[in-house]
Amino acid sequence: MKLDRSRVLALLVLTASCAFAMSAGQVASQSVFGFSDFSEQAKIEEKFLAVPDATLAGQHLKILTAEPHMAATPEDRKTAEYVAQKFRTAGLDTEIIPYRVLLNQPKTVRVEAFDPNGILLMRGPTPEHVENDSGQDNPRVVMPFNGSSGSGDVTGEVVYANYGRLEDFNQLAAQHIDLQGKVVLIRYGSNFRGVKVYLAEQRGAVGVLLYSDPQDDGYFKGDAYPNGPWRPETAVQRGSVQFLFKYSGDPETPGVPSTMDLPDSARIRDHVGLNGNQPSIISIPISYHDAAPILRALKGPAVPQGWQGALPFSYHQGPGGVRVHLVSDQDYQRRIIWDVVGTAKGSAYPDELVIAGNHRDAWVYGAVDPSSGTAAMLETVHGVGALLKQGWRPKRTIVFCSWDAEEEGLIGSTEWVEQHSSELTKTVAYFNVDVAVAGPDFGASAVPSLKEFVREVTRAVPSPLGGTVYQQWRLRQPANSKPVSQVPGEDVRMGDMGSGSDFTPFLQHAGVPATDVSSGGPYGVYHSTFDDYQWFTANADPHFVYLQEMARVLGLEALRMADADVLPLDYAAYAHEISGYITEAKRRAIDAGMSSLDFAQAEAAAARFSSAAKRIRAREVSVSGDLVKLNEALRNTEAAFLWPNGLPNRPWYRHTIFAPGETTGYSAVDIPGVNEAIDAHNSELAAAQLTVLATVLDRAAQTLNVAD
Ligand SMILES: [Zn+2]
């Protein structure tokens, strides 16, 4: 479900060329982080890179997107079998693993709007429809709805709340616009939709209407599908409104795997409401076709600056002028989902795992989200299979995972992580893809220790535009993205790990270093019927060469991490970033009038962690000393950042350096315990969280020092 708007870029004009600008000899002559002598590995990588095939990736995509395949449906099961068959053909030891988890499917979703005289202004939802789309008439296309929505029948006055960010709700409060008993109309964008609903429920709203304003992904951006890539008038963004920032996964089993034999008595009952991870109010997603009559009729004050969207009239905040009647009948059942897991056993360190994964379930066809990821991963597996057939074995075990029910709340991955927590202490890294290909612009997020690793991998993969993925990445970075930090060598921008995809349980619950890679572009059909094969081949990747590119990137990540002499985890870079986060938090504390807050202890611990990391970094580069002890220390360091009791008010999230923001959801908050306490002007909590931070940084330093 991951969608980071900063990656939806305008296309730059570049001369396309398919030249493979680099030979294996050039790679072999480079020194590569983690290897004392790269020449053997270079040969393996050269063999691997030759296998992922664009045409085959296109075939996988066509088969995976032949039918809508929402989690827990028969069509989803069929895609699980397809993936499992490809895993087995490649020689992976393959299992389809079922879990029984709480999911809603919609029975009735209805929206009606009336003027003060009771005259009907609109009745919806209007079916998603454009001229000449081959997928839209399939009866298995699920009606637009929100995963985790409440059921009910409510009528209320409407208030418009822009993007539904905390500052938008604060603005309404400052104007004394009361949300008690109201229906809040909110546009998609800027934060995770579950945050919008959470903030609305907190303020007493009885329902939420989420709509896609054409300013954000419709005609304001460019031509709409089928003439271009942007969102057409009737297209709706489905999606989960789970309170993901509380915990991910099955709402009834935080911290516990929802295995088939888990008794109902082991499932919690207070998962609904502001203390659980599901809203109790109704939330319904609509198109701008259906939102326009409501917005047009809305009275009240004119909207503040920045709240006006691209519909052709002036927006008002409400209330007044229009009442809406919402009906949502959600069928909640414990349903069976299927993860597919395929393993290539390591020859030297079989207990150590390198995991690559993406989700397989889609709201409808999901050509970009997530089938482009699955198609790419299947070609990665094809390449690994070719190596296995030649007798090669990875040094560490490589595990490929095809997760289910990610769209409903990262459920398949979370339950698997919760089930395998003991083996995961020996997991070296988790490499995610999700929205793998929407266009030609490479992008990545990573924990700081893996940023150099991602850069190195992309230097070894050819770009369909000519040169390497790395060179094109550097060339095509948006000029307006945030400035490059001062880390030496960091010349391409990489995001931090927030949430919105399956890396969350690995990193933020289990303490496994993670990356997420994608190839972005103009993409306006996210979570609508029109994210289908026809849209993909017209707009994203007609010749499937970016699927091939992503297969190669994901594959090299897995191969290099599995075979490295020294795990290529750069904790000196991590320490540098953490010190920056502390400096920034200190500045924010002063701005918030909390200048008495004492950062000295955390700063000193960060300095100790930094000097330990620099010593280790020198040994990693020279590949010297006791490598077994060195690798063990490196492997355990990310988990040292976990605090067993978790973050304040959300114990499932245990990572003290990165968490999804409580009011942003997708994007990361760094040192979340400290920063969120500062935001809440809670000095006592901020001080306690600074102590927690100092403790984990010292623990991380000690973990590295064990290798000395
Ligand atoms: Zn997705």
CA distance 220 to 230: 9
Please tell me the distance between residue 133's alpha carbon and the centre of ligand 1 in angstroms. 22
| Tens digit of each residue's pLDDT (9 = 90 or more) over 609-666 | 999 999 999 999 999 899 999 999 999 999 999 999 999 999 999 999 999 988 776 7
Q: For residues 259 and 253, is the Cβ–Cβ distance under 8 A?
A: no
The mean pLDDT value for 479-501 works out to: 69
Q: Cβ neighbours of residue 503 under 8 Å, at least 6 residues apart? A: 430, 432, 497, 514, 515, 516
Q: For residues 557 and 32, is the Cβ–Cβ distance under 8 A?
A: no
What percentage of the chain carries pLDDT values higher than 90?
A: 89
Please tell me the distance between residue 494's alpha carbon and the centre of ligand 1 in angstroms. 19
Q: Which two tokens stand for residue 158?
A: 């409407």
Q: Would you say residue 549 has pLDDT above 90?
A: yes
Whole-number pLDDT of residue 28: 46
Please tell me the distance between residue 434's alpha carbon and the centre of ligand 1 in angstroms. 5
Q: What is the average pLDDT score of the chain?
A: 93
Confidence of residue 284 (pLDDT cuts 50, 70, 90): very high
| Tens digit of each residue's pLDDT (9 = 90 or more) over 508-535 | 999 999 999 999 999 999 999 999 999 9
CA distance 617 to 624: 11
| Tens digit of each residue's pLDDT (9 = 90 or more) over 453-464 | 999 999 999 999
Q: What predicted TM-score, i.e. pTM, was given to this entire model?
A: 0.95
pLDDT, greater one: 11 or 63: 63
| Tens digit of each residue's pLDDT (9 = 90 or more) over 412-452 | 999 999 999 988 989 999 999 999 999 999 999 999 999 99
Kindly report whether the peptide bond that precedes residue 139 is cis, defined as omega within 30 degrees of 0: no
The mean pLDDT value for 264-293 works out to: 96
Confidence of residue 236 (pLDDT cuts 50, 70, 90): very high
Residues with CB in 5 Å of ion ligand 1:
1, 369-370, 434
Please tell me the distance between residue 151's alpha carbon and the centre of ligand 1 in angstroms. 25
Please tell me the distance between residue 1's alpha carbon and the centre of ligand 1 in angstroms. 3
Q: Would you say residue 3 has pLDDT above 60?
A: no
Q: For residues 250 and 414, is the Cβ–Cβ distance under 8 A?
A: yes
Please tell me the distance between residue 406's alpha carbon and the centre of ligand 1 in angstroms. 7
Find, among 368, 439, 436, 374, the residue nearest to 400 by Cα: 374
Please tell me the distance between residue 399's alpha carbon and the centre of ligand 1 in angstroms. 20
Whole-number pLDDT of residue 63: 98
Q: For residues 413 and 361, is the Cβ–Cβ distance under 8 A?
A: no
Please tell me the distance between residue 529's alpha carbon and the centre of ligand 1 in angstroms. 14
Please tell me the distance between residue 573's alpha carbon and the centre of ligand 1 in angstroms. 29
Q: Which helix (H) or strand (E) holds 57?
A: helix 54-64
CA distance 177 to 205: 12
Whole-number pLDDT of residue 24: 42
Please tell me the distance between residue 311's alpha carbon and the centre of ligand 1 in angstroms. 28
Whole-number pLDDT of residue 479: 57
Among 45, 201, 406, 557, the active-site one is: 406
Helix (H, G, I), strand (E, B) or coil at 82: helix
Q: For residues 121 and 297, is the Cβ–Cβ distance under 8 A?
A: yes
| Tens digit of each residue's pLDDT (9 = 90 or more) over 24-63 | 444 445 689 999 999 999 999 999 999 999 999 999 999 9
Please tell me the distance between residue 635's alpha carbon and the centre of ligand 1 in angstroms. 28
State the SS3 of 620-634. HHHCCCCHHHHHHHH
Please tell me the distance between residue 411's alpha carbon and the centre of ligand 1 in angstroms. 12
CA distance 271 to 279: 9
The mean pLDDT value for 244-262 works out to: 97
Q: Would you say residue 487 has pLDDT above 90?
A: no
Please tell me the distance between residue 612's alpha carbon and the centre of ligand 1 in angstroms. 38
Please tell me the distance between residue 436's alpha carbon and the centre of ligand 1 in angstroms. 9
| Tens digit of each residue's pLDDT (9 = 90 or more) over 173-213 | 999 999 999 999 999 999 999 999 999 999 999 999 999 99
Give the angle 543-472-39 at the CA atoms, nearest 5°: 95
pLDDT, greater one: 170 or 8: 170
Q: Cβ neighbours of residue 336 under 8 Å, at least 6 residues apart? A: 72, 98, 99, 100, 260
Q: Given the structure tokens 């990391």, which residue do they identify?
A: 613
Whole-number pLDDT of residue 486: 46
Whole-number pLDDT of residue 476: 85
Please tell me the distance between residue 24's alpha carbon and the centre of ligand 1 in angstroms. 34
Helix (H, G, I), strand (E, B) or coil at 590: helix
Q: Which two tokens stand for residue 172?
A: 């309404």
Q: Which two tokens stand for residue 7?
A: 């990656």
| Tens digit of each residue's pLDDT (9 = 90 or more) over 497-510 | 888 899 999 999 99
Query: Is residue 406 flagged as an active site residue?
Result: yes
| Tens digit of each residue's pLDDT (9 = 90 or more) over 114-129 | 999 999 999 999 999 9
CA distance 641 to 621: 23
CA distance 322 to 447: 47
CA distance 302 to 298: 10
Please tell me the distance between residue 284's alpha carbon and the centre of ligand 1 in angstroms. 20
Please tell me the distance between residue 699's alpha carbon and the centre of ligand 1 in angstroms. 35
The mean pLDDT value for 93-105 works out to: 98
Please tell me the distance between residue 3's alpha carbon and the centre of ligand 1 in angstroms. 8
State the DSSP code for 114. E
Q: Which residue spans within 243-305 are E strands per DSSP? A: 282-286
CA distance 702 to 682: 30
Please tell me the distance between residue 368's alpha carbon and the centre of ligand 1 in angstroms. 8
Whole-number pLDDT of residue 10: 30
**Which amino acid would we find at residue 409?**
G
Q: Which two tokens stand for residue 264?
A: 């109902």
Q: Given the structure tokens 């088939």, which residue do they identify?
A: 260
Q: How far is CA 371 from CA 368, 385, 435, 583, in A?
A: 6, 20, 8, 41
Please tell me the distance between residue 372's alpha carbon and the centre of ligand 1 in angstroms. 10
Please tell me the distance between residue 410's alpha carbon and the centre of ligand 1 in angstroms. 9
Q: Would you say residue 703 has pLDDT above 60?
A: yes
Q: Are strands 146-147 and 152-160 parallel, antiparallel or unpaired?
A: unpaired
Helix (H, G, I), strand (E, B) or coil at 187: strand
Q: Given the structure tokens 């004009």, which residue do they identify?
A: 13
Whole-number pLDDT of residue 12: 29
